């Protein structure tokens, strides 16, 4: 039984390690889920807008948020690698 708990703990710690290495990935995922949830909520009150147009706008918004989060992640990574002060030990 402890073997299953170790396996689950290993996956959780691996996710946390990856999130610490690139913190904007979970932000991008959460933003995408948030935009899709908001789009589905607004689906009821879309008025005369066609369903396909509404879904395209929702997709573009989610993709834009993810691309923005990835861009910020790359800038953050480049800053840490090239511009951040290094310890000279």
- Chain segment 16-37, per-residue pLDDT in tens: 887 787 788 888 888 989 998 9
- Chain segment 3-20, per-residue pLDDT in tens: 555 555 566 787 788 778
pTM beyond 0.75: the answer is: no
Categorize the per-residue pLDDT at 89 as very low, low, confident or very high, splitting at 50, 70 and 90: low
Q: Supply the DSSP string of 17-61, one letter for each residue.
A: HHHHHSTHHHHHHHHHHHHHHHHHHHGGG-TT--HHHHHHHHHHH
Domain ranges of the chain: 22-83
39, 58 contact by CB (below 8 A): yes
Categorize the per-residue pLDDT at 77 as very low, low, confident or very high, splitting at 50, 70 and 90: confident
């Amino acid at each position: 039984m402890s073997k299953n708990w170790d396996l689950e703990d290993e996956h959780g710690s691996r996710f946390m390690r990856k999130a610490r290495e690139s913190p904007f990935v979970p932000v991008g995922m959460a933003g995408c889920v948030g935009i899709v949830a908001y789009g589905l909520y607004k689906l009821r009150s879309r008025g005369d807008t066609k369903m396909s147009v509404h879904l395209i706008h929702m997709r573009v918004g989610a993709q834009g948020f993810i691309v923005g989060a990835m861009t910020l992640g790359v800038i953050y990574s480049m800053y840490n690698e090239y511009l951040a002060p290094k310890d000279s030990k």
